[in-house]
Structure 1
Amino acid sequence: MLTYPFAELPLPGELQQVAEGVYWLRMPLPMALDHINLYLLEDEDGWWVIDSGMDVGPTRDLWEQIFDQHLKGKPIKAVVATHWHPDHTGLAGWICDRWRVPFYISEGEYLTGLVFSRAESEHFGWTNELHQLRCGRGQKGVDSSRKSMGGMRRITHPLPTSFRRIEEGTRLTINGKHWRIVVGNGHSPEHACLFCESLNVLISGDQVIPRITSNISVSGHEPEGNPLKAWLASLERFLEVLPADALVLPAHNTPFHGLHYRLRYLIEHHEDHLIALEEACVDRQATAVELLPVLFKRELDDQHIGLAVGECVAHLNYLFQRGQLERSVDADGCFRYRSVDDTLPLRLRKRSHSADDVEPIQV
């Protein structure tokens, strides 16, 4: 099970110590998920910033308050981004320029962030349009997706024009302690988590969050991508290389214990979604949009529909590429999926703990 060792949340513009030399702070987000957790690591001669928040609302003023009141007279000496998403890099360029310090990020995240942070609606090409139509979103979905393409520029200060690459196994020495980079995939290209063995602390970004599941999406820039395969492989590897009792510092919700429990839950969560989609495609040929109620029981508003479709397609691509779903194109240009896996009835019986689910012994 999960336990939460900190009953109090840090106030806006304040720090809360969670381990030796490790401080937790929160910044606001203009969405249903209304906050992001950021972290400061104290070094002998300065501070390392882990993720930065979006360039929106009072976030710059809150950072200035932290700079003025909580740095103990020492400067910021580096910014580290777990991944490229704007709530994690929106002010990275501003902090790096203000303090003239390096920007640490994996290469895949940096290059992806550069592309999306500079994109405008006119960059929405025919491949993106075709992807939305293939999903079953129609012209309304195409128009909505085109409009959102330039959205990152409004919430992101320009990214630094250079970076220092971090990758699997990179070690950052901070205040005499080694923080090892552990890379996860699926939510983003090369998501960097930071693990300190001597403190038994994992800064997990969006790779492991306690109360919500990270979005695993396929979008028009890689419509045949299989991020769910990469995501599940990452979670399995984290079970092997990270200790069960680590203190996990996530990007959202609150710090927690119970890493392996959460990793197993996330794996099973997606396995449940996969088998539910297969079952839903037994007696019909359905589009991604038609299959959304299988994965999402709540009403989806305009803010969430794009992410929901992307998540559904990620599961469908996974099943299609494994040969468990068949895919065809209908008269409207939509992909339609049908279950073709003859092992599905047996697997459904096993999941329902049927008495007749025993396979014969092979000799």
Structure 2
Amino acid sequence: MLSTTNGAPDYPFCSTPEAGGWLEVAPGVLWIRLALPFQLDHVNVWALDGGDSGWTLVDCGLGDPRSLSVWEGLLRDALARRSVQRVVVTHFHPDHIGAAGWLVERTGAVFAASLTEWLLARALSAGSDAAADAAAERFYRRSGMAEEAIASMLGRKGAYNRGVPSVPPTLTRLRAGDRLTVGRHEWIVIGGSGHTAEPVSLYRPADGNGETGLLISGDQILPRISPNISVWPAEPDADPLADYLASLDGWSALPADTLVLPSHGRPFRGLHERARALADHHAERLEEIETLCATPRTAAAVTRALFPRPLDAQQTLFALGEAIAHLNHLIHRGRMLRMVADEGAGRSGADLYGLAGTAGTLMTR
């Protein structure tokens, strides 16, 4: 679930590529826009021209037939003058890694990502066992979701493989601080966390010839929406929001005039202001939740208050995960307590969250 936020970035490009089309945003940097079958209806991917060393692709969209057909056209047209030598993925989500296996097999390119993101993709592609399924059901039941919603979320089993039919079997590992040479330019790998465990962004410093710095930010910083920060059944007590807020502080080290190339929305300038706006958004969410939980509530009740409009199954999944991420952050900061459900207390096994000092004694699992 991607929450809208305020902020006024500067958009230097008046036009946006059509789905499957492209636009050059800097010398040798193509902005390619791929369609998605979700409410968030597109993902941006980036082709970096390395001259004789070939193309480096950053992210690649879903691995569905429509996206693969678009890639076939791109390989025949916009990318035809060079071979694809490297496929970089910012993180493991299907709209970023979905076509990677196909592209690597089709072109013979090297695949590069952080180790954590690649391992997560490989693990999710392998499917879940009975114990993982039971843990997921327990997680959603303790959230207080209605039975119909729980059934809908559990029914999404296998959704990852539909968007990611294959994951490259070998990896060139990317770490924060690594440098990737693409033609005459070097791109610095920037680490992060929060939206996923170990996403990577790529920064190309200004070269002194009139070209400003470029930042391929993935989903870590977006111009109009806040990247989803969620807690998932496999790590129910995690505090990804703390990681994300810490990562926002890091953008201040880059020049203020950096051109940001995000995964969703349009390229923009105003990196520092946007990072502050995202931090303010989460601070407002935390205050809102504290007000809501003056009377102890379930995570599902908090979710409905934060996201009152009708949600489909995918949006409900993200909205609940984001609500729990904020609740967990308040728990880690000592401002909230979770009262673990007594299955026989008539509360359908749902945990309650309340303010520290009023919610009773925190019971751990």
TM-score normalised by length of structure 2: 0.89
Partner of 1:336: 352
Alpha carbons 2:44, 2:264 under 8 Å: kept: yes
Shift of 1:11: 2.8
The equivalent residue for 1:218 is 231
**Which residue number corresponds to residue 62 of structure 2?**
54
1:147-188 CA-to-partner distances (Å, cap 9, x unmatched) read 213111112131110000001101001112110011110000
Other structure's SS at 1:140 match: helix
Give the share of equivalent positions with the same residue, in percent.
38
Q: 2:300 aligns with which of 274, 286, 289?
A: 289
Contact 2:47 2:57 in 1 (8 A): yes
Does structure 2 retain, via aligned residues, the 8 Å contact 1:132–1:138?
no
Is the counterpart of residue 77 in structure 1 residue 85 in structure 2?
yes
Secondary structure of the 1:269 match is: helix
Q: Does 1:10 align with 2:13?
A: no
> For residues 124 and 262 of structure 2, what CA distance do their matches in structure 1 show?
24
Deviation, structure 1 residue 124: 4.1
SS in 2 for 1:125: helix
Picking from 151, 171, 174, the partner of 1:163 is 171
Corresponding pairs, count:
340
Unaligned regions of 5+ residues in structure 1, if any?
343-363
Aligned twin of 2:282: 270
Deviation for aligned residue 1:255: 0.6
Range 152-161 or range 304-313, more displaced: 152-161
Give the Cα separation in 2 of the matches to 1:117 and 1:7. 39
Secondary structure of 1:79's aligned partner: strand
AA aligned to 1:36 is V
Matches within 5 A, 1:172-251: 172-198=180-206, 199-239=212-252, 241-251=253-263
Q: 1:32 to 1:91 in 2, by over 3 A?
A: same
Opposite residue 201 of structure 1, the aligned amino acid is L
- Give the deviation of 1:118 after TM superposition: 2.4
Larger mean CA deviation between 314-323 and 331-340 belongs to: 331-340
1:129 equivalent in structure 2? 137
- Higher RCO (CA 8 Å, separation ≥ 6 residues): 2
2:147 corresponds to which of 132, 135, 139: 139
Residue 304 of structure 1 aligns to a residue whose secondary structure is helix
Answering whether residue 80 of structure 2 is matched by residue 67 of structure 1, we say no
Distance in 2, matches of 1:269 and 1:62, equals 36
* 1:323, distance to aligned residue in structure 2 (A): 1.2
Measured in 2, the distance between the counterparts of 1:118 and 1:176 equals 39
Q: 1:123 to 1:28 in 2, by over 3 A?
A: farther
Counterpart check, 1:260 vs 2:272: yes
Distance in 2 (CA, whole Å) between partners of 1:79 and 1:21 is 16
Matched AA of 1:48:
T
CA RMSD, aligned part only?
Answer: 1.6
Deviations 1:286-345 (CA, angstroms, capped at 9, x unpaired): 001111243224332333111100000000001012110111134222110111269xxx
CA distance in 1, matches of 2:250, 2:11: 24
Cα distance between partner residues in 2 of 1:226 and 1:33: 25
Q: Does the 8 Å CA contact 1:166/1:181 hold for their aligned counterparts?
A: yes
Deviation of 1:121 after TM superposition, in Å, equals: 7.7
User: Contact conserved, 1:200 with 1:247, CA < 8 A, in 2?
Assistant: yes
1:56 and 1:251 mapped to 2: Cα distance? Answer: 18
Match of 1:346 in 2: none
Pick one of 138, 155, 161 that aligns with 1:153. 161
What is residue 355 of structure 1 aligned with on the other side?
none
